[in-house]
Structure 1
């Protein structure tokens, strides 16, 4: 998905996904929204010929999108008007636009539906794996970003107020959050999504307050690679090389090598000293 700022709202996130869905599939019409107060309100529409889809609100279990959300899997019909597999609560919207083929993709976060994306055509369009695969990737990317946002907000709420020094328990929460985000980023292929995760990580480092309070002298400028930061963040929580390797999907020897280069850059003789210096330099919370 394309680059965005950390201030992007959930509505903007859906709008971006709907545009990308149109770009990455053969469907001329795409739309979608997130669940709000138990109902999906369609907030973004691309490619429509009429205003019929305006105001569409989808309840779970109702219509094609409701079925997709309840079954937690994509659902498709290439003859919407005559389909007997769905309820027709929303015919005035869908048929009003003249859509015949419709694909509904649930946005699933931690096993629960959070919204739905639609891709539709005015014709009876064969839909195969070549078309549905990129569509499902778009829905998955939205779900991943929502999951990350949820986790960050939960951790930040648990940490409480961040003015002044951070209590030890809350500081440890921040450090665990940072390490978890590094692990998530390591498993994400989307470069832009990794960049947004990195912005959140920098917020956590700032919230920890270590870089501003741990030293009164000048802080040396050190540049760690992404993987060096990953392994050092795990090491900061006391993980062994084997545990770090398992968490990040690396070989144990590779972990040892990354730790070695990080220690060298930080001029540290032990991993504990490397973690301490990385915190002073504002590289770890």
Structure 2
């Protein structure tokens, strides 16, 4: 995948499924995104057969179909004899030799966007050791999809770069708010891959707001991620206290980052620093 392209929903799902196998003790994992009233399995890791390929799980059918509709995890400790589910997909699941199957819905804004599964070929208990990391993977996938949805929603309301010179003030302000929100989200994420994806989206947002009538200023300046975070919030008119609350920093730390950024940008005020950073393409 090119470094300047945003990940697709399918690529985000693939990463989550791989993480299920890595973080839990289950050897096989698979998952799919919702299309209408069904889950289309598109990512499989650890399978020994091709039985799960192309699996489509309908709402309320099977373990995943129940997770889709009920919006809560479902477990079949012994899948073959489970009485709480329909057995529409026995050929796929039992064909892979799966005995214990755990299905977790991926919820975004109260809607099931997908279901991820982890399973084992022998009957295996699902306690906190397995459930906690599986839930964490589902939560991370939900967050990525939510962020991507929001960015795409806002980008569709923003002119392309060639028309940026005529961007309405309200649209430009909303773009800047989106950028600041993405920076605050990225600041509390530990996953390097996810932070890198967010950084690519941030660069796209910054490029969208550039004024075509004013060529960018070339500056030999490197701002730290935190200095950019603080400047992005300052650009919205937030006080030091409000910035501290947004980024979970001490107010004194915010002041220190602002002073450092101002010195690097040769600016005497925060407003001048923001203006210079925008002309340099460091902020939208």
Structure-1-length-normalised TM-score: 0.91
Q: Given the alignment of the two structures, is residue 84 of structure 1 paired with residue 83 of structure 2, yes or no?
A: yes
1:187 aligns with 188
8 Å CA contact 1:222, 1:281 repeated in 2: no
Q: Which moved more, 1:106-115 or 1:17-26?
A: 17-26
Task: Please list every run of at least 4 consecutive aligned residues from structure 1 whose deviation after the TM superposition is greater than 4 angstroms.
Answer: none
8 Å CA contact 1:34, 1:114 repeated in 2: yes
**CA distance in structure 2 between the aligned counterparts of 1:5 and 1:33, rounded to whole angstroms:** 25
Measure how far apart 1:220 and its partner are.
Answer: 2.0
Q: Which moved more, 1:109-118 or 1:63-72?
A: 63-72
1:202 aligns with 203
8 Å CA contact 1:77, 1:103 repeated in 2: yes
Pairing 1:1-285 to 2, within 5 Å after superposition: 6-164=5-163, 165=165, 166-210=167-211, 213-214=213-214, 218-285=217-284
Measure how far apart 1:67 and its partner are.
Answer: 2.5
8 Å CA contact 1:221, 1:281 repeated in 2: no
Stretches of structure 1 that go unaligned for 5 or more consecutive residues are none
**1:185-235 C-alpha deviation (Å, 9 max, x unpaired):** 11212122111101110111111114x64468x532221111111111011
Q: Which moved more, 1:228-237 or 1:254-263?
A: 254-263
8 Å CA contact 1:159, 1:173 repeated in 2: no
Cα RMSD after superposing both structures: 2.1
Measure how far apart 1:104 and its partner are.
Answer: 0.8
8 Å CA contact 2:223, 2:264 repeated in 1: yes
**1:103-158 C-alpha deviation (Å, 9 max, x unpaired):** 11211222221101111112111222122222222222222221111111111111
Number of aligned residue pairs:
281
**CA distance in structure 1 between the aligned counterparts of 2:249 and 2:29, rounded to whole angstroms:** 39
**CA distance in structure 2 between the aligned counterparts of 1:39 and 1:71, rounded to whole angstroms:** 13
Q: Which moved more, 1:174-183 or 1:96-105?
A: 96-105
8 Å CA contact 1:101, 1:120 repeated in 2: yes
8 Å CA contact 1:104, 1:116 repeated in 2: yes
Q: Which moved more, 1:38-47 or 1:80-89?
A: 80-89
